[in-house]
Amino acid sequence: MITGEPCRVAGLVAMARRAEELGFDSVWLADHFLLYFRGPDFPPLGSWECWMTASAIGAATTRVEIGTLVSSTSFRPPAVLAAMVNTLDDLTDGRLILGLGAGDAEKEHRAMGIPFEQRVGRFEEALTILHALLHEGQSSFEGRFYQTSDCQLLPPGPRAGGPPFLIGALAQSPRMLRLTAQYADIWNVMLAFGRSRPDAIPPLRAAVDAACRKHGRDPATLARSAAVLVDCSGFGWYPDGMEPLTGSPEELAEAFRAFAREGISHLQVATYPTTIEGIEQLAPVLELLDQT
């Protein structure tokens, strides 16, 4: 949790159910085991396993989409991950959004005994296998890091072509931009730990549009999403570079509309505090958005 306070899986499920009741369109889970973002002088924070938690939320909800933001392909063999994805998509009757990433937390990888070197190369091979299995139902692949041999994804999932792929990529990562252009249905930018403002979008959008054109894709076919932090507490102090959204319901609703004007069709909103009460404070914002 963003507050640093422990939460049982049942608490996460309760937050997801409350979000669904209030009219949120989706709920999102990070994929980490040990979190070191507080700095080297602090012990790590832990996190419940992403896919088991997503399954609990999927079984407890009926409408909201469930997304991973993002699931690191380094943590699980890609063919195994494809089977997990297929199972959850069936459990939720096709409500899964598959957010994928290469994994950027080196210390976490080292602690867990998971290779971190050549992480984008590993990601590209894993993505190739995942895409083949979830879109075509089979994969035979011989790579440097991963291999499959006449692997089939059975039984078939509830959606032809599987769930939509979401990939996050920044302007300074041309390889990730290329993979986004080649494989993603949705592009994502993580603003929650930086400047959660609509004016951060145009240069990032320009970079992903250019990557699409470079690699033969119409930019209009790629949906856009952004993850932002909203301070519902009036906390007031944040590390350098972190600028969450704050303000009245009317001000927050206008900020969300400004993201839409920048081409963002889906916002992942992290609330501070990450509690049921924090989620409930956004209910008036949703009501205002529903009026427009």
**Per-residue pLDDT at 2:** 44
**Per-residue pLDDT at 80:** 98
**Per-residue pLDDT at 172:** 82
**Per-residue pLDDT at 273:** 87
**Per-residue pLDDT at 40:** 76
**Per-residue pLDDT at 185:** 98
**Per-residue pLDDT at 39:** 79
SS (H, E, C) the chain: CCCCCCCCHHHHHHHHHHHHHHCCCEEEECCCCEECCCCCCCCCEECCCHHHHHHHHHHHCCCCEEEECCEEHHHCCHHHHHHHHHHHHHHCCCCEEEEEECCCCHHHHHHHCCCCCCHHHHHHHHHHHHHHHHHHCEEEEECCCCEEEEEECCCCCCCCCCCCEEEECCCCCHHHHHHHHHHCCEEEEECCCCECCHHHHHHHHHHHHHHHHHCCCCHHHCEEEEEEEEECCCCCCCCCCCECECCCHHHHHHHHHHHHHCCCCEEEEEEECCCHHHHHCCHHHHHHHHCC
**Per-residue pLDDT at 233:** 79
| pTM as predicted | 0.96
Asked if residue 128 lies in contact with residue 178, where contact means CB atoms within 8 angstroms, the answer is no
- Tens of pLDDT, residue by residue over 97-110, are 999 999 999 999 99
Q: Which residues of the chain have pLDDT under 50?
A: 1-4
**Per-residue pLDDT at 178:** 97
**Per-residue pLDDT at 237:** 67
**Per-residue pLDDT at 239:** 74
